Amino acid sequence: MNMMMNNDFYGESRIDKFLKIALAVMLISIPFMNLPYMKKFMGELGAQGSAYVFIFIIMLVFVDMVFVKRRFYRINNISIYILMAFLVWVCISTAFNFSNIMSNTFKGRSGLEKLILQVGVLGFCILSFYCVYYIVKSNKLSMTFMRKFVTISFLICGIYSFMEVGYLLNIRVFDEALKGISYFVNMYFRGDLYPRGVRSICGEASYFAMFVTFAFPFIASYIYTKKTNKNFWFVLLNVYLLILIFFSKSRIGYMMVLVQAAMILCYGLFLSKNKRSIINTILVAIISMVMAFGVNSLFYNRASEERVEYDRNTSSSLALGDVYGSLNDENNMSNVARTGLWKAATKMSLDNPIKGVGLGQYGFNVSNYIDDDTKRSDEIKNWIDPESAAWPPAFSIHFRILAEFGFVGAALWVILWLSITIQCLARFINSRFDVTGMVIITLIAGVMMSGFNSDTFGFFPYYIVLALAMLYIKGEEFLNLKDSNLY
């Protein structure tokens, strides 16, 4: 048998078709962020629907690159060299901390076990970044292609969330359907109703907010590219997205989407050249505010002892104002836990300013840096209790990088994303404020803000956005958003 695989069977067109389908399925699977499968073998990646698809994508790209096209795309960009420097520093930091890593044990886990798992996660994610870049470039896929399947993923979320809104408004006809679906797609409150707000198929309200920060720029772009009578439906789709975030009651979600909405609003009002687009931008803003305050007045302010009890960690009642007010509440245990862990990560970095504590070692060291005030939180007590199975999170990839790789690693991480942003802004200005640039810059803002909610490297929008940004900076014309009949 010929090991080089002749093109009659593995032809370029067939492989390209498989790659496009796999990329589309991966985009659709992004909101599945809390799956209850394979965690023992895949770690944090087991919870990510996209990870399962990327396994096949990586294999397909390898076959295409080595046996079919026999082509490797080199990415010649300063940001990639900074990324390589960051990865080299991760290795150096780990080497300097290796003796401590070998002696680390906590909750039945060893430092070496955690290190191996995190090397696998980080390596897998870097391969995923290159695969997205490879597929989009080799098939000359546009942002219109990406947007189509991101929209489908949001519509899947939207259907499930429509039923959740019914539950939150005490319309209980969908309860059994919600429980049934939840059993298969959610690790937290598996097979049960989620009382804190809309979480969709993402597992938690804050995870749903992270997905929305990825989907929102794509969906908002319809307003600036559609020139048909379907435009009104895309206005409503944007309004629906914003209303679902409102129902999520995720405080970090409110802040992230508010920043993105402000960016998109500024683009629509000051940089868009199309009058209809300006009008539609204003329509989305006005309708969203009217509906949000209307729902808040009519439904959220009603008494609901059961849900207030479940919701005590995020606000004192279901009113929108109380959710925002809880941000400054020093007695709010969610605030205490999150900021306490961020402080612990900062203290950890001050004790290890150059080399940090090593990849994956935050959880082994955090209990030494938790102050007494933070220990008021029952969550904190559970996370640092050696007898509990719950692993202590850093609640932010940015603070985790600071703790694990010191100030050098954190500086490289910040410089990486700053360099990408600056290059995208330069391209955006040179392209006379194109819609594609607006989407990518808003996406960068979204994933960076999501980094203050999750501490995993396995959040795949980081790598999708990085790949798209590299193509945009390079000036690939095929990437530009184009009008289409439906998506």
Tell me, yes or no, whether 1 lies in a domain.
no
pLDDT band, residue 151 (cuts 50/70/90): very high
Q: Is 392 helix (H, G, I), strand (E, B) or coil?
A: coil
* Spatial contact of 117 and 43, defined as CB atoms under 8 Å apart: yes
End-to-end CA distance of the chain: 44
Tell me, yes or no, whether 412 lies in a domain.
yes
The lowest-confidence range among 12-16, 70-74, 317-321, 477-481 is 317-321
Provide the pLDDT for residue 296. 63
Provide the pLDDT for residue 288. 83
Percent of the chain with pLDDT over 90: 70
Q: Which two tokens stand for residue 276?
A: 């209809």
pLDDT band, residue 88 (cuts 50/70/90): very high
Tell me, yes or no, whether 389 lies in a domain.
no
Provide the pLDDT for residue 305. 40
Tell me, yes or no, whether 408 lies in a domain.
yes
Rounded mean pLDDT of 259-271? 93
Q: Domain residues for 41? A: 12-331+394-479
- Number of domains the chain contains: 1
The lowest-confidence range among 143-147, 194-198, 311-315, 454-458 is 311-315
Tell me, yes or no, whether 137 lies in a domain.
yes
Average pLDDT, the chain: 88
Task: Reply yes or no on whether the pLDDT at 298 is more than 70.
Answer: no
Tell me, yes or no, whether 270 lies in a domain.
yes
Cα radius of gyration (the chain) = 23
d(CA 74, CA 352) in angstroms, rounded, equals 35
Tell me, yes or no, whether 249 lies in a domain.
yes
Q: Which two tokens stand for residue 278?
A: 């300006």
0.75 exceeded by pTM: yes
Provide the pLDDT for residue 2. 44
CA neighbor of 213 nearest in space, from 178, 244, 168: 244
Rounded mean pLDDT of 411-425? 98
pLDDT band, residue 197 (cuts 50/70/90): confident
Rounded mean pLDDT of 456-478? 97
pLDDT band, residue 7 (cuts 50/70/90): very low
Provide the pLDDT for residue 277. 83
Tell me, yes or no, whether 216 lies in a domain.
yes
